[in-house]
Amino acid sequence: MKEAENLTRREKNASKFLKKHSKRRVLFRRGVTISNREWNKSERTQERKLIVRRRKLSVFFISIAAISILMVVFLLQFVSRVSVTAKSVSK
């Protein structure tokens, strides 16, 4: 290995990085990127969650509307209607 004085800046930074990260135990955490940014905090994931919520809510309301229309049509089939027709009118 080169002497400490002859190292480039990149090599010095690399050796500092390796010293820093070799001392601590490596833990793999779910939901954290390599740069330690959490998935839940990014704007893109929040927007995706909002889109999914909107989709679920719209499906819920559309299903309620469809069920109510079907129930109205179904009930109208069983409602009796009275129709009176007179062929002859007597006085």
Cβ atoms 73, 65 nearer than 8 A? no
Greater model confidence, 6 or 28: 6
Confidence label for 7 from pLDDT (cuts 50, 70 and 90): confident
Question: What are 21-73's pLDDT values in tens digits?
Answer: 665 555 666 666 666 555 566 788 889 999 999 999 999 999 999 999 999 99
- Is the whole-model pTM more than 0.85? no
Residue whose pair of structure tokens reads 């002497």 in the numeric block? 3
Q: Computed from CA positions of residues 47, 49, 55, 57, in that sequence, does the dihedral angle turn out positive or negative?
A: negative
Write the burial class of residue 10 (CB in 10 Å: 0-12 exposed, 13-18 middle, 19+ buried).
Answer: exposed
pLDDT above 60 for 6: yes
Task: Determine the pLDDT at residue 61.
Answer: 98
